[in-house]
């Protein structure tokens, strides 16, 4: 098992999720009812899957959950860019958050590669 609380990528993804949750809480209009819930779910999925995977008993399982986090980060990046393109979120705000999501995704790709190279861990029973 791994200590997810010590991972920089977990800390950054948690901070981004908190920022987006706060932003969604103040949003108004039809966008607040339709797109923000999906953005919030995708943002929370990234650190949640890192944490869940880190608690698994094998590196292979951890890598699988990191793959899920990578997908959620890519989804989040896309949703933020679309929100900015449509003028539903100020473009500079959407681009900054999308850039952070991209950087988190790249960190996750690197972490997954390192985890997959680790020696096999015995399955705890």
pLDDT tens, residue by residue, 24-65: 888 776 655 578 899 999 999 999 999 999 999 899 999 999
Mean pLDDT across the chain, nearest whole number?
90
- Tell me what pLDDT residue 86 has: 87
106 CB-near residues (< 8 Å, 6+ apart) = none
Specify the CATH number for the domain of residue 35.
Answer: 1.20.1440.60
Residue-number span of the structural domain to which 97 is assigned: 4-117
- Tell me what pLDDT residue 125 has: 46
Domain count, the chain: 1
Q: What is the percent of the chain with per-residue pLDDT over 90, rounded to a whole number?
A: 72
- Sign, CA torsion 2/19/107/105: positive
Kind and range of the H or E element at 15? helix 8-26
Residue 45 belongs to some domain of the structure: yes
CA 56 to chain CA centroid, Å, is 18
Residue 123 belongs to some domain of the structure: no
- Tell me what pLDDT residue 121 has: 59
- 1-10, 27-36, 106-115: which has the highest mean pLDDT? 106-115
Residue 82 belongs to some domain of the structure: yes
Residue 125 belongs to some domain of the structure: no
């Amino acid at each position: 098992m791994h200590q997810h609380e010590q991972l920089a990528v977990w800390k950054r993804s948690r901070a981004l999720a908190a920022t987006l949750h706060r932003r969604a809480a103040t949003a108004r209009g039809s966008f607040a009812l339709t797109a923000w819930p999906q953005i919030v779910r995708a943002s929370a999925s990234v650190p949640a899957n890192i944490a869940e995977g880190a608690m698994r008993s094998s590196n292979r399982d951890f890598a699988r959950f990191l793959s899920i986090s990578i997908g959620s980060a890519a989804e989040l990046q896309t949703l933020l860019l679309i929100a900015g393109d449509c003028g539903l979120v100020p473009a500079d705000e959407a681009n900054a958050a999308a850039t952070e999501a991209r950087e988190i995704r790249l960190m996750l790709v690197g972490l997954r590669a390192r985890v997959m190279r680790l020696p096999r861990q015995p399955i705890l029973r």
